[in-house]
Every structure is written in structure tokens, then in C-alpha cells.
Chains A and B, each alone.
Chain A
Amino acid sequence: MRNKLVERAKELLADGTVTRVIGWKRGEFSYDVTPAVFETAEELEKDFVYDGFCGANVSKYLIRESAKEGKILAFLKPCDAFSFNQLLAEHRIRRENVYAVGIPCEGMADIGKIRSAGIDGVTGIREEGEEFVLSTLYGEERIAKKDALAERCLVCKSKRHPVYDELIGEEGEDLPDDARFEAVDKLEKMTAEERFQFWRGELSRCIRCNACRNVCPACTCENCVFDNPDSGLSQKAAADPFEESMYHIIRAFHVAGRCTDCGECSRVCPENIPLHLLNRKFIKDIDELYGAYRAGENAENKNPLVSFREEDAEPSVVHERGRA
């Protein structure tokens, strides 16, 4: 697949369709790829990668890249394509400056999961059927791909690209949502106190590095309230013990209805806090209260939280449910 992408990118560069390509760049150890912009065939040949470790969502970079002169080729996994579409809906990306190529995704591995399976010192990884074969400082190790997959990929929402100019590989389909909401179900079944304790336990590890916010394709405010000294909320660390919780709660509310559940927040969290569960709870609620809705499905629909229909749930319904 990697070679296919490189060949296509070279063609599109050569025929002048695009001037730049955004994708993923080789790292030191197979798993540590970096999103990167490539400008020449040589750069692509040398450093472009596409494999089971290219989890980073490149859509948010297109805000900046599409503002530049010339068209950029963006390789979009299904997740990235949903984010891209949502950003288009929010008028954050100049569509005419992006040539979107949908690419297939079989799920992305999470080096954290490999490490927590007790495999350390990983210096190289190759795929062999349904397994990853890992060269480590302490000998060769194997792990089933499914055991190395990121949580968000284990409950993948869709293999389909809601937007693209061109597709490489076969188009996939939406996947059933049941598994995706299992963890939310579990949280809903807790008592309020249990749920509070669960989140306090998770969020108390937060180091307020802002990685979740900065990586989030739905967080595109030019001046975030948490950085703006005039907002009254600006803070860099916990001034009081509830501060981190407020940060994450406010952020979850702000991206509600716009979050595509790409899972980048949880991927980047250095403390492994399952932040995506906050967003996923909102997604589930919106589905249940206002009918199935998928942010990023298309670039025209208004999200249910900012559009009013007569048959919308009454606020009292929301209120009642909130007490449950």
C-alpha cells in the first residue's frame, strides 16, 4: 500500500495537480512516525510511510496548509476524512486547496498497548499476516495485531470515506456502533458517585499539557478560553483540585456535536486518560435525543445542537435524564 501511495503522489506532483503532499514520515523505530509535508518525489521515496502505526490524524494540519498557496494532496484514512469533512463544515479549510485521497485503514496499532503487553525495547516492527513481529533489544517478540490495536480501532466506526477526490483501494462500510458505546453504557450504569469517582481517578492524573486540545480537530479556536487572560478561565495548571476536571468538561461540551470520535485525544494523552469516553457519551446522547447523527458525515448538515426542530427533545427531558 505504501508504494501505491508514493507512486500516486509522485504522479500528482509531476502533473502539477498538487504542489505538496501531507502524510507520515519514517521515524527511528518503525512506530514513531511524524506527520509531514513532502514536496518532492525524492522526499517521498526516502521518508514516506504508511503502515499500521500511522494513527496521527492529518486533517487539522490542513487548516494551515490549505491557507498556503497551491494545492496539497492529503492522504486521509476514514477517521481523518470525517474530521476533514467536519472542518469543511466549519469553514476552517479551503477545500479548493486540498486534493483529498481516501486510503484504506485496517486499524492502527498503539505502541502503548504493545508496551503494556510486556514487550519493551522495541526497535523495529514488521507485519506478518495477523501478527506484528517485533525486534527488541531483548530478542524477537510477536503480538497478534488485534492485541496491539488502539481502542478506537477495535471499535472502529467506519471504513468509509465521507469525502474524497480520489480513492485508493476499495471503499469500506460503516460498522455497527454497539461495541463503540459499550464503555459508555458501563459508565451510565454506574451511580453518580461511582461515576464521579471514576472520572476523578482518571482526570486527577492530567498534567495539563494541552496535547488533547491541541491535537483535536474540533479544537480550532484561534484563542482558546484557557489561554486567554481576559476569559477568567485562563490557567496552565491546577490552581484548585477540581481544575483539570473543569478543563476536560468544558472542552467536551465545546466539541459536543462536532466531535467525530477520531480518538486522537486519548491517543496523545501521556497519562493514558480515556478522554474519548467523555466525547462518546455526548455522541450517544445526541443520537438518542435527536436521532442518529454523525459529525463529519457531510459538510453541509448543521449539528443537532445548533439547529432547532419542533420535534426536538424538550429541555425537561434532558434535565430528567441528567438526574438519572
Chain B
Amino acid sequence: MMIKSIFSGFGGQGVLMMGYVFAHGAMSKGYQVTYLPAYGAEVRGGTANCTVAVADEEIASPIASEPDYVVALNTPSLYTFQNRIAAEGTLFLNSSIINIRPTRQGINVVEIPCGEMAEKIGNPRVSNTVMMGAFIKKTGLFSPDIYMKSLEVVMGGKKKSVMEINRVAFMAGYDFLNI
């Protein structure tokens, strides 16, 4: 088993955080993982992205030429990655701010209005965690508990209230998706 995912969005939407926590969760579940962020001369307001590989064998290349999952939090990400997704792969789409729909055929599309859901919960900054709730449910790689534990480790020493609102956000995304 080898699953490669790309998380992409505006700088500041928390895309690197999503990938980091996902990779950490997969590691604590016992999988091999690699996490590779895009680095360097990125521009303010441009896209940030990271690639996470999860496998039950040694991971050779951390790069995903055909990702199984793409999480697009903004429109440029959709344009950039829709044609790279593997056949039968899945695109997670932040339908709160992405108004177009993929032209690419032969993939599953999961629309999550994570921006609006985060507003409703009380903080627009947790929209990435809402998305991850849906992502973890769909991928089924590990349980919400493991994700929340990893989030706690990664955020290290943040206030209890921050963890709590993230838990609510995660479960909202998790329950939003009917599988």
C-alpha cells in the first residue's frame, strides 16, 4: 500500500499544518511516512503546498507525480493539480471559496464548505481542520483520536480552548461526509 496526497491552498490557510498533522498521525499509527513542503521563493498570496506519502513499505520518492488524493483549498490549487490526480483518485474541494468545478473526468470530487462551517463553529481559522475531518473519514487510514492526538503534539502547548475548537471543527467535517 502506498498513498500519496497533496495539500494545497493560499499561504496562511494552514495547508502545511494539515499535511504535517496527517503525516504525524500516520507515523503514530505505524506507517512509513514522508512529508515534503514546497519551499523557497513563494510569493505572498500565492499557493503553498505539501506532499505526504503514507505506506506500509519503504518510501522511495517523496514526490507525487500521480497523487491519490488532492486537497484544494483555493482555486489556483484546483487548476494546478486536477490533472495530476491518479485515475479514480479523489479531489477534496473547499466549496466555500472555489466557485468553479474540475474539468477533469474520472476522479471523485468531495465538496466541503469548510470556510462556512468554520465560521459557524466560531473561528474561520479552523477551516483546515474541518477539511481534515472529511479527509480522514474518506481515507479511513486512522481514527479521529489519532488525528487529535497528533494535532496536540504538533501544536504543542496551545491553550485548551484552541484544542477544543479544533476538535469540534474536526468532528463537523468528519460527520459532514456520509460514507
Chains A and B are bound partners: no
- Mark B residues whose CB is within 8 Å of A: none
